[in-house]
Structure 1
Amino acid sequence: MKHPRPSLAIAVVAASSLVPLAACSSSSGSGDSGSGKTEITLLTDNAESTVKPAKAVIAAFEKANPTITVNAETRPGGAEGDNLVKTKLSTGDMADVFWYNSGSLLQALSPEKTLVDLTNDPALKDTDPSFLPAVTQKGKVYGAPWGTAMGGGILYNKDVYSQLGLSVPKTWAEFESNSEKIKGAGITPVLGTLKDTFTSQLYVLGDFHNVASSNPEWADEYTANKVKYATDPVALKGFEKAAEPKQKGWLNDSAGSTTFAQGIKLLAKGKAAQYPMLTFPISTLPAEDAAKIGFFGIPGDDASKAGATIWEPGGQYIPKASKNIEAAKKFVAFVASVAGTEAFSSAVPPTGPYLVKGSKLPDNAPPVAKDMQAYIDSKTSTPALEFISPVKGPSLEQIMVAIMTGQTPPQEGAAQYDADVTKQAKQLGLPGW
């Protein structure tokens, strides 16, 4: 989502439980092992929600491709992981395949210099075309998807909604009404987990569907420095929505000291009813708790345009320095196939749809995944801004924390972010800035 700071997606991954990845095969290294097998390496982040499905996918791939062995390696999440990826690429020491972000962070990898061009390659034959813009730079495609798409909006406790007779809101006014009824029932209406500051960003980032619905050209105009958050009334509303829970007594008193990990558990227990967040963290919950949580997009003002902002799946890439490009392509193709998605789902419940042709959510997928699928099927979803614009300032989360806690008025915070974005755009050398 931004550079040099890690994206929201990376931050969420980094916040989840971390476990070491045991070797997925007994051999090490790459190339020809001397036994007639080709060995390749896969580099992923070290979050449990990545490690477990990586193991499952590798096992399924090796069973289907007995002449190829895949050795798994892990890296840290967040900024440390970003820097390690760049270092490995620049030194020619990158794994044969690596899983990383799609979207704006791809530009920072100088893909035209470092990555294998997969434009029209058979490795992408099962990739849904809607994913390709997220891994395209200067007209060339460099990646295939791994994992699922995510929604960015409001996670809500289905039991609380049912007990209070509430319906999923399609306008912000309906969300306000729901929140007042929840408050009247003695339940925290809106959860904040500002101890982990990255979680503050959803009001603005998740509101992008409403911005794009109002002006379909907004992302292009934003990239060209023709629109600003502080001076666009529709774009400004994301900052105003962030301030409202504190102003109206909906926000938990402990928002400043509550962590992301604590928050998702509070939501599952019904201690709080609504949580602005990605759908991703549902994978960290037991199935019985995940079944209690649904998802809806951040509401706008027009019920007829109600929808959701989605985060595209991560990208899997092959470095030009790989000595096993053909074997790497086979692995990439498998991950982005129905067989690959089934292996992935066998390890962790999907928290959104796979952007792979023919892939279907399993019957035991949690409600948030099915809610997300409904938005995509009805064509009422919009990619998050990071997937269609490289412009993202590094200080959004700090600005949003100040707005959510009442320290900074929304209009002032939006102006601060516009100034922050300007610095980043100039560093990227974008025209018009």
Structure 2
Amino acid sequence: MFPSRARRALRAGAVLAVAALTASACSVGSIGSGSDSSGSGTTTITYLTGNDQTNVAFQTALIDGFMKANPDIKINLETQPGGTEGDNLTKTKLSTGEMDDVFNYNDGSLFQALNPDNTLTPLGDQPWVSQLTDQFKATVSTSKGLYGAPLGSSQAGAVLYNKKVYSQLGLSVPKDWATLMSNSEKIKAAGKTAIIQTYGTDWTAQLFVLGDYGNVAAQQPDFATLYTENKVHYSDQPALQGFLNQQNAHQAGLFNKNYASATYDDGIKMLATGMGAQYPMLTGAVSALQANYPDDVNDIGVFPLPAQKASDTKLTVWQPNALYIPKTTTGAKLDAAKKFVAWVNGTEGCAVQSEKSPPSGPYVISSCKLPSDAPTLVKDLQPYFDSKDFVSALEFSSPIKGPSLPNITVQVGSGISTAAQGAKLYDEDVKKQAQQLGLPGWS
């Protein structure tokens, strides 16, 4: 997958561009007494989320909106650190029966690690479930039930491109890798950087590999299962191709000259100003574009990292986090918690989400619509969702993601290692993590 450390290394990379992280766990608002009531006729519940300042502001807006619409329910917001520390705290609170009444957490493989059938309240009977995409349902479900509701939008790992540059050079969106390379040569000939790379921020180097997963799954639909069972590897095709693409782009001289030291912020600037034309990146970068280049943000579009064959090209999507209710929430508190989860994914809650946390991709529930003023690159993703022409990133299907991938992809993208060497190094890195997780077939 790509959490544990790595899922956040990529997902958090885009977030860190706009969010200042607080140093330690904190609590926002007064703490409830633990009883169902706080005052006559009022039910009080607690809601746990991450402690970065941008997230706290977003969650506070949701709570305020909900309490205004539901004056008989009070929600106290509590926070905890993210990363591995947050994972461990979440598991501990669930196992000891001390989890808050509602909590915000990852889905996919990290969700599965929570032992959801024993720790979480099933939500499959809730009315909003019918409005979820099948792909999101899969990330919050076990064979015994569905446990989570989405919070926020999706994002994609794809190629952000400058539409003005494409128009000036008469280029069309590539459907296969050969066309991307042809476009890139024309961009290079025009004196611009064809493919932006920013290894001064090492997590950004991973996109060639991780953003290619949709294409891998298109060719080998059971790849995630076989990968988790140690039966397929990145040193073999089709997974090797992502490393090969990065190697070939470097050898063709398509990167900016300062790729080794350039940072994520440098990459965003190059893309927005047209100094560079294409940037393999998460669409969460839209927040940085909006904040720093508001006059240029709608010049940026997005397309999937192309496969070798156009028929195999699929968009790779990162699903949003989810809201969960632990089994320890009961009685009036359970009713209030379910009401809050439903409100967040209803018309009013969706409006707050779009206003306070602008989407970086389509929503995964039909009750939430992209706002009419959403940036172009976000709107560009909607057709892939409408046609279901996308695949959830590997982290949502497999718990395995080695922590050294940023360093390995920097080496491949710099010509220090070949694609084959990098893939082999990554297979070794992954083996160590799988053994630490105690997965069968990796001894």
Give the TM-score normalised by the residue count of structure 1.
0.91
Pair 1:303-2:305 in alignment: no
1:12 matched residue in structure 2: 14
Pair 1:147-2:152 in alignment: yes
Distance 1:332 1:293 in 2: 34
Please list every run of 5 or more consecutive structure 2 residues that lacks an aligned counterpart in the other structure. none
CA-to-aligned-CA distance 1:183-208 (integer Å, 9 cap, x gap) = 11221111222222222211111111
2:373 matched residue in structure 1: 364
| The 10-residue stretch of structure 1 (395-404 or 135-144) with the greater mean CA deviation from structure 2 | 135-144
| The 10-residue stretch of structure 1 (125-134 or 326-335) with the greater mean CA deviation from structure 2 | 125-134
CA-to-aligned-CA distance 1:166-196 (integer Å, 9 cap, x gap) = 1111111111111111111221111222222
Q: Is the 8 Å Cα contact of residues 11 and 77 (structure 1) preserved in structure 2? A: no
1:52 is displaced (CA, Å) by 4.0
Q: Is the 8 Å Cα contact of residues 17 and 288 (structure 2) preserved in structure 1? A: no
Question: Residue 284 and residue 79 in structure 1: after superposition, are their counterparts in 2 closer, same or farther (change >3 A)?
Answer: farther
Pair 1:37-2:42 in alignment: yes
Pair 1:422-2:399 in alignment: no
Of the candidates 117, 121, 135, which is equivalent to residue 122 of structure 2?
117
Question: Residue 176 and residue 385 in structure 1: after superposition, are their counterparts in 2 closer, same or farther (change >3 A)?
Answer: same
CA-to-aligned-CA distance 1:344-373 (integer Å, 9 cap, x gap) = 012232121111123321110111221111
2:361 matched residue in structure 1: 352
1:312 matched residue in structure 2: 319
| The 10-residue stretch of structure 1 (242-251 or 377-386) with the greater mean CA deviation from structure 2 | 242-251
Q: Is the 8 Å Cα contact of residues 16 and 47 (structure 1) preserved in structure 2? A: no
1:208 matched residue in structure 2: 213
Q: Is the 8 Å Cα contact of residues 352 and 373 (structure 1) preserved in structure 2? A: yes
Partner of 2:113, secondary structure, is helix
CA-to-aligned-CA distance 1:134-176 (integer Å, 9 cap, x gap) = 1123533221111011111111112222222211111111111
| The 10-residue stretch of structure 1 (371-380 or 278-287) with the greater mean CA deviation from structure 2 | 278-287
Pair 1:62-2:50 in alignment: no
- The aligned amino acid for 1:269 is T
1:271 matched residue in structure 2: 275
1:382 matched residue in structure 2: 391
1:227 is displaced (CA, Å) by 1.4
Question: Residue 364 and residue 46 in structure 1: after superposition, are their counterparts in 2 closer, same or farther (change >3 A)?
Answer: farther
1:239 matched residue in structure 2: 243
Please list every run of 5 or more consecutive structure 1 residues that lacks an aligned counterpart in the other structure. none
Partner of 1:109, secondary structure, is coil
- The aligned amino acid for 2:232 is V
Distance 1:243 1:280 in 2: 25
Distance 1:291 1:401 in 2: 30
Distance 2:226 2:29 in 1: 52
| The 10-residue stretch of structure 1 (401-410 or 135-144) with the greater mean CA deviation from structure 2 | 135-144
Distance 2:360 2:3 in 1: 26
Alignment of 1:321-336 (within 5 A): 321-322=328-329, 324-336=333-345
Q: Is the 8 Å Cα contact of residues 28 and 79 (structure 2) preserved in structure 1? A: no
Of the candidates 235, 255, 276, which is equivalent to residue 251 of structure 1?
255
1:397 matched residue in structure 2: 406
Q: Is the 8 Å Cα contact of residues 196 and 267 (structure 2) preserved in structure 1? A: yes
- The aligned amino acid for 1:381 is F
Distance 2:85 2:205 in 1: 21
Distance 1:394 1:216 in 2: 24
1:111 is displaced (CA, Å) by 2.8
Q: Is the 8 Å Cα contact of residues 103 and 134 (structure 1) preserved in structure 2? A: yes
The count of corresponding residues between Structure 1 and Structure 2 is: 431
1:277 is displaced (CA, Å) by 1.0
Q: Is the 8 Å Cα contact of residues 157 and 293 (structure 1) preserved in structure 2? A: yes
CA-to-aligned-CA distance 1:233-291 (integer Å, 9 cap, x gap) = x2111011122332222212322323223322332122221111111120233243321
Distance 2:255 2:144 in 1: 44
- The aligned amino acid for 1:5 is R
Partner of 2:47, secondary structure, is strand
1:213 is displaced (CA, Å) by 1.4
Give the aligned CA root-mean-square deviation in angstroms.
2.6
Q: Is the 8 Å Cα contact of residues 239 and 403 (structure 1) preserved in structure 2? A: yes
Of the candidates 269, 275, 298, which is equivalent to residue 291 of structure 1?
298
Distance 2:154 2:323 in 1: 14
1:171 matched residue in structure 2: 176
- The aligned amino acid for 2:68 is K
Q: Is the 8 Å Cα contact of residues 24 and 70 (structure 1) preserved in structure 2? A: no
1:3 is displaced (CA, Å) by 5.2
Pair 1:260-2:267 in alignment: no
Partner of 1:291, secondary structure, is helix
Distance 2:120 2:13 in 1: 24
Question: Residue 360 and residue 185 in structure 1: after superposition, are their counterparts in 2 closer, same or farther (change >3 A)?
Answer: same
Q: Is the 8 Å Cα contact of residues 124 and 336 (structure 1) preserved in structure 2? A: no
Pair 1:228-2:233 in alignment: yes
